[in-house]
Chain A
Amino acid sequence: MEKHKKYWRENLKYLAILLAIWFLVSYVFGIILVEQLNTIRLGGFKLGFWFAQQGSIYVFVILIFVYVRLMNKLDKKYGYDT
């Protein structure tokens, strides 16, 4: 397979994984399962409410920086880092 196609496929794999986590923390934990998670407590927070107003945002920030790291490595591997 050509080099740039392999690169693109690996990139898409990273995107799929990272976006799955993005969906999980916001739409699943913060919205769909919020009532079930609210029965669990994190200090003074109900867990579902915490994900909706705090946790999801922290995870979003981490996701982008993980993506930056993964892509910098990938670029280097394929010699696209110039």
Chain B
Amino acid sequence: MTVQIWTYIIVVATFTLYIGIAIWARAGSTKEFYVAGGGVSPLANGLATAADWMSAASFLGMAGLISFNGYDGSVYLMGWTGGYVLLALLLAPYLRKFGKFTVPDFIGDRYYSNIARTVAVICALIVSFTYVAGQMRGVGLVFSRFLEVDINTGVFIGMIIVLFYAVLGGMKGITYTQVAQYCVLIFAFMVPAIFISIQMTGNPIPQLGMGGKVTGESVYLLDKLDGLSTDLGFAAYTNGSKSLIDIFFITAALMVGTAGLPHVIVRFFTVPKVKDARKSAGYALLFIAILYTTAPAISVFARTNLIDTVSEKEYSEMPAWFSKWETTGLITFDDKNSDGKIQYVADETINELTVDPDIMVLANPEIAKLPNWVIALVAAGGLAAALSTAAGLLLVISTSVSHDLIKKQLKPDISDKSELIAARLSAVVAVVIAGYFGINPPDFVAATVALAFGLAAASFFPAIILGIFDKRMNKEGAIAGMVVGILSMLFYMLKFKFQWFGGGTEAEWWFGISPEGFGTVAMLINFIFSIIISKFTPPPPAEVQEIVENIRIPSNAGDATH
């Protein structure tokens, strides 16, 4: 059977499963819609969080990025996992004890201020919309490459599926579909990795195969790849080329940004007790780590295979996958010296081949000549990753509108039933907007995804941490900190990504820190401003200080309430 038929079979089967789960787990009240009724087991929540967190970027993009950046790619691996330690130790248990539905809920109540609440809502909306556009694009890409439909049709199909189960099921439906999606995506990620690891090193565990010897040779795989890379003029794979300070700051910004993302934080409101929140953070990271420790192995395999397959080989003898990706424009070949062979080197004036890092995970099974059903499985896994994250983000968007804006500010006497309708309607609007951005992606998407992490790091993270660990922190300090933090992040991005204020070259980076790493600096600015300003302004009222005392004690965590 062809790849296309296999893909149709697997995609239709998995989509049917998701829809079946959504019908079984539809939401009947706002509590079910926002926090799945609060009765999700830690294990199920861990699985759902892992699927929620691992997006098209983790599944399709990351291994490719690492394979072209070597050691420098470590920022994603450490950054996007280390954030869970912060989340588990510093945020999740206390926010669960606090017992409300959303992150702006916490900010608004803890800082006794609707201004603080509104700032938090705006941040949540910006972060989530940026992200969700990228997911829809990912869905479109997979559809267009493997089912050979138009990319816009792909986005449209994805929209309908997400619409169906997010609007019907709310958090309850999303949670249980995400559990299924995690199983699909991890299976789809591991099967080719294990196949290729056996092929290249004889070891079935990719994490070990990566450090093993090349089959039939006495050289270690990583040493071989270092050699191949330097021969072609690239930096040695295991050394990288970014500066130490930049690696440090980017890693920190990604970690803190991860811990501050509202769609991840809100998952910890769905478990019954504080100790369940801690435990499910552990499960979540365990399930994420399975993919995140496999990805760098795939990067090494794919990079070595790619160089072996193309370097100095006849263009006319390239395998079928090569020309298929050429038609999408994601691989391009330009025979500069007209010798009919592919020169793939670091020197731009001689190099004849460009490969988009995004295709590495999708192309990898084909490059390694794996059976067709494995290739189709990877396509279904990519869809599961993109859809699960999109659904989680859409829920944050709809909750921000129906709960934080309508219920908490505009119309406090709204009935539970009407609020549920408002939540569903805002989910529909959000899907349509997300789909629009998926079909007409603004060219700043890639830049703004980094901005989303920086924003989360510069705004939410310090405000939540100080709200828990500094009883004296007041609204003046927190609001000033959030505003100054976001503005400094925006300023740096606009100056150095978009050259708004003149100059903005790499040589002018402050302390050699890239815009991606600046989130860490903006976060520190936020902390400093909050603390200094709170010292010179009145302390929070006694009942707010009591809230802080209360969230520090894990016992008697009630159900989440309005």
Contacts and interface: CB of A to CB of B under 8 A. Distances in A.
A75 B557 CA distance: 13
Contacts, number: 127
Contacts of B85: 18-19, 22, 60, 63-64
Interface stretch (B182-190, B219-227, B311-319, B361-369): B219-227
B78 A57 contact: yes
A49 to B, nearest CB: 4
A57 B292 contact: yes
B429 to A, nearest CB: 37
Given A15-B90, A22-B85, A56-B82, A81 B555 contact: yes
A45 B211 contact: yes
Chain B at the A interface: SS class:
helix
Given A7-B553, A52-B74, A44 B220 contact: yes
Contacts of B408: none
A58 B293 contact: yes
Interface string B537-562: 00000000000010011111000000
A26 B80 CA distance: 12
Contacts of A42: 211
B553 A80 contact: yes
A58 B289 contact: yes
B553 A26 contact: no
Interface size class for chain A? 35 or more
Contacts of A61: 282, 285-286, 289
Contacts of A8: 552
B78 A80 contact: no
Interface of B: 66, 71, 73-74, 77-78, 81-82, 84-85, 88-90, 93, 207, 210-213, 220-223, 238-239, 244, 247-248, 251-252, 275, 278-279, 281-282, 285-286, 289, 292-293, 296, 549, 552-556
Given A22-B85, A26-B78, A67-B89, 9 more contacts: A4-B553, A8-B552, A15-B90, A32-B244, A38-B239, A56-B81, A57-B292, A60-B85, A64-B281
Interface of A: 4, 7-8, 11, 15, 18-19, 22, 26-27, 30-32, 34, 38, 42-46, 49-50, 52-54, 56-58, 60-61, 63-65, 67-68, 71-72, 75, 79-82
